[in-house]
Structure 1
């Protein structure tokens, strides 16, 4: 590996780490909104939404995309790693109830960073 390739690899790794931590910070900010009064919630929701759009736009310019699988049915083989898969039986119908870390893909859909998710059983209705 050349010196230039090594530097590019380090830059990509740093960008992926900054992206993940920015996503986490956004999630914390969203949870904190509930502690504010209605007027402050409106103001800060706009700021958080702006930050999210800016993050996604900047990533797109680099050929990257953040993917959250939250709310989707769980199927074996999806990119993120389920931290609690062993808590369920193979026949359980599972859904992704939380994204702990997002998955980051390149423009061709290749996985640059596999995310981390938490699963829950599907609620059966009669």
Structure 2
């Protein structure tokens, strides 16, 4: 610890997620989604060239998010939709209250910080 106490302050601030960290998490999620989609469209030999680099990036991002207490809620396409979910369904007006709905496509992830929702996700819904 330094005589003026700045080291302790710096350490405690570095573990607090701010809005920039949360926005970064959304962008990393989007990049991962896009990259996986692109990788699925190329042949296996080409995929092998990029998987190691992608794994390294994902590990570094995961370590950063873990230090900040940031995680992603596990909502996926195909899951039943419930009005209590921390999701903003962009097409909810297309359905009736009694419709049996599911998540057709997740557009933005639900972000948690230390287990609490700090950013709602966005989804397109479908009717079963």
TM surpasses 0.5: yes
Gaps of 5+ in 2: 1-12
Gaps of 5+ in 1: 1-6
1:37 Cα deviation after fit: 1.8
Given that residues 56 and 66 in structure 1 are in contact (C-alpha distance below 8 angstroms), is that contact kept between their aligned partners in structure 2?
no
Q: How does 1:83-102 map to 2 (within 5 A)?
A: 83-102=90-109
Larger radius of gyration: 2
1:76 and 2:83 correspond: yes
1:46 Cα deviation after fit: 4.4
Q: TM-score, normalised by structure 1?
A: 0.76
- Cα gap change, 1:42 to 1:100, in 2 (>3 Å): same
User: 1:33-89 CA deviation, whole Å, 9 max, x = no partner?
Assistant: 133222112343444344334423321221111124113210011111111111112
Aligned residues: 113
Q: What RMSD in Å do the two structures reach over aligned CA positions?
A: 2.2
The residue that corresponds to 2:73 in the other structure is 67
Q: TM-score, normalised by structure 2?
A: 0.75
